[in-house]
Amino acid sequence: MADDKQEIELMALLQDEKQKSKAFNQVVLKYQQQLYWQIRKMVLNHDDANDVLQNAFIKAWNAIDSFRGESKLSTWLYRIAVNESLTFLSKQRTLHIGDDLEDVMINKLEADSYFDGDELQLKLQKAILTLPEKQRLVFNMKYFDDMKYEEMEAILGTSVGALKASYHLAVKKIEAFFEEEKTL
C-alpha cells in the first residue's frame, strides 16, 4: 500500500512543472533496478540492457505529460521497457541477418563480465532463447519475477488465459530443450 501512496505522490509531483524534473529523478531511482533486470532478461547483455533502459527512460520522460494515469506508473514504465526491449531485439535481428541471433546473444552473454552464472544457468538462458519473444517475456516475468498474470495482463495487453497458455507452452519447450540436451 505504501508503494501505491508513493506512486500517487510521484504522479502529483510529475504534474507540477517546477517539480517535474526532480520527481522524474525519483521515478528513475525507484524503478531503474526492476526495469534493468526485466530488460536484461530479454537482451541478456549488461551493456545492451543499460542502453535499452536509458532509451526507455528517455521515452518515458518525453511522454510523461501524456500519461493519463489509467494504469499504474510502474505498469506504464514496464510497458515502455518491454517495447524498447522488443525494438532492440528487432534491430539486432536486422543487424545480424544470416546469423542466428540467439547464438549471437549467447556469445555476448558468455563474454559479458557481469554474467556470473554457472553452466546450468547458461543452459537455461539458451533454452529460454529458443522461445518466441512473447513466450520468453511471459516466462521471464512469471518464473523469475513471480509476477501475477493480472500484472502481466496490464503490461502486455494480453488476456490472463493467453498468458497462462504462453507460460505453459514455454515451460514445455524448456523441458523439451533439457530433455534433448540429455540425449546429446
The 10s digit of each residue's pLDDT in 128-155 is: 999 998 999 999 999 999 999 999 999 9
The 10s digit of each residue's pLDDT in 54-103 is: 999 999 999 999 998 888 999 999 999 999 999 999 898 888 776 777 78
Alpha helices in the chain (DSSP H): 2-15, 20-43, 46-63, 73-95, 101-111, 119-129, 133-139, 149-156, 160-183
Put simply, whether the predicted model's pTM sits higher than 0.75 gets the answer: yes
What domains can be seen in the chain, in order of their start residue?
A: 1-116 (1.10.1740.10), 119-184 (1.10.10.10)
